[in-house]
Each structure stands twice: as C-alpha cells, then as structure tokens.
C-alpha cells in the first residue's frame, strides 16, 4: 500500500486538491492503490522544479478558458467546456463543491465574477457541470471553450508531454502521461494518470496536450506526484447523459 500524506483543502492529494485558507490540517493515512504493479518504470525520471518557458499563443488561448470556482470555504478551478447564446457550461471536479451551501461563484480570466447554477454532479466520476447565465457576464467579454478532439485523445501515449492549467498559476505546469487509462481505487473509476507537480487550487482545472487539446479534469495527486485526471472520454459520456437524461 502507498502511504499518502493528506493536507486537507491545501495540497493536491488523491482525495482532492481544493484550497481553503481556513484549514491546514495534516493527517497520515494508509490508502490502498490498484496502480502499483502496472505502471511504467519511472525510477530513472526526475521531474524538474521549474521549466523555463514563455507563454505561447496556445497557452494564452487555454488560459482564457480556465476559471476559478468557489463553493463555501472551498475553491478550485474549472474549464469553459461549451457555450450557447444564453449560457456557458463549466466543468469542475465534483469534490470542489463538497461545501456547497447553495451559492457557487465563478471568476473568469477577465475578473468577471458570476453566480453559477449546478447542472449535475456525476454519479460515477469526480465531475460536476455548472451553468453560468450570459446575462451575468460582460457582453463584450470573450469566453472561449476548450478545444476537444476525440481522435487526438485516443492517440495519447505513455510519457507524452502534458500541461496542467488552473489555480492561481500564471503559467501552465508540466506533466507527462503515466497511463492513459487506469483504474484508480481512491476515486473508484478509470482515469488518466499523469506525473507532475501540481499546486493547491488546481482541482477542476484542465490537462492539455502540447498543441492545446483538452484531455480531462484535474482531480488530485499523491505525495509522489501521480496526478489523477477525469479523462475526456468519460466527460463526453457524462455530457451525453446530461443532454439526454
């Protein structure tokens, strides 16, 4: 069994990666994992503390689709997944809403803050859908949706470079693919597993390919830097159920 240090609502762990300024409790616990024996050998790979980088056009486009989500004392991130003439559909991690008291606030990259309505929380994955009425947004604002490509997602390979967006970060954080499809017992679902160094507040943010294709929603990470992501394939399935109940 892998030992996970859980810093409640402060550090990304497989039980969640929200940040809440009022709590900073550290707890040691034993958490079983079904990922140990089938992961690739990462012993010879070291994650850099920081990768020097300049923001690209792809980065800037993606960052315009990343929002902050606050529910109660917890905050996390979200992505603009879809939009129509009346509203914007936001994806976030389900556990970001664990302290939802009825008011969910979404802050967009242009600092516009709007109330969101909860469309649905997925039953079988750590995923939630939020709706923001465009009447609450700047009529001249731009709120682009993330770029999706099922064929590109299906081609994802082990060790492929990935970038994570969310939280208060002004730049994306590097990661790479450990396993594109693996059962993670902590979340009781199949997920995309990355290796990276995420930061507090990134729950509900997004993982993207080098060329800016959306891969899934960030949910949590263990002390070794294994990052669990709700994959795009599951998101599409949940979205289909949302549109066709």
The reported pLDDT for the residue numbered 245 is 66
The reported pLDDT for the residue numbered 243 is 78
Triad 174, 176, 181: Cα angle to 5°: 135
Per-10-residue mean pLDDT of the chain, 245 residues long, equals: 29 46 31 44 57 84 98 96 97 96 96 97 96 96 97 98 96 97 94 96 97 98 95 97 78
CA nearest neighbour of 119 among 134, 99, 141, 104 = 104
The H or E element containing residue 242 is helix 232-243
How far apart CA 19 and CA 74 sit, in angstroms, is 6
Q: Quick check: helix, strand or coil at residue 203? A: coil
Q: Which two tokens stand for residue 2?
A: 């892998």
The H or E element containing residue 152 is helix 150-154
How far apart CA 48 and CA 224 sit, in angstroms, is 13
For the whole model, what pTM was predicted?
0.82
The reported pLDDT for the residue numbered 244 is 75
How far apart CA 59 and CA 4 sit, in angstroms, is 32
Domains annotated for the chain, with CATH where assigned, are 64-136 (2.40.10.10)
The reported pLDDT for the residue numbered 43 is 58
The reported pLDDT for the residue numbered 231 is 99
């Amino acid at each position: 069994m892998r030992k996970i240090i859980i810093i409640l609502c402060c550090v990304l762990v497989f039980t969640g990666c929200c940040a809440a300024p009022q709590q900073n409790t550290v707890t040691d616990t034993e958490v079983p994992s079904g990922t140990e024996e089938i992961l690739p050998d990462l012993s010879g790979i070291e994650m850099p503390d920081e990768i020097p980088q300049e923001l690209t056009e792809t980065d800037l486009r993606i960052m315009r689709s990343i929002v902050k989500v606050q529910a109660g004392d917890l905050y996390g991130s979200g992505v603009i997944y879809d939009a129509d003439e009346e509203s914007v559909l936001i994806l976030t991690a389900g556990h970001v809403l664990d302290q939802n008291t009825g008011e969910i606030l979404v802050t967009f990259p242009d600092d516009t803050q709007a109330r969101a309505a909860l469309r649905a929380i997925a039953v079988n994955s750590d995923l939630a859908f939020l709706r923001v009425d465009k009447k609450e947004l700047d009529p001249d604002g731009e709120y682009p949706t993330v770029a999706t490509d099922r064929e590109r997602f299906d081609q994802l390979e082990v060790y492929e470079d990935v970038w994570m967006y969310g939280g208060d970060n002004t730049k994306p954080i590097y990661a790479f693919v450990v396993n594109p499809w693996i059962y993670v017992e902590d979340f009781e679902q199949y997920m995309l597993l990355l290796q990276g160094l995420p930061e507090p507040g990134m729950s509900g943010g997004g993982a993207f390919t080098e060329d800016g294709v959306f891969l899934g929603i960030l949910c949590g990470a263990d002390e070794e830097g294994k990052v669990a992501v709700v994959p795009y394939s599951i998101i599409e399935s949940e979205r289909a159920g949302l549109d066709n109940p």
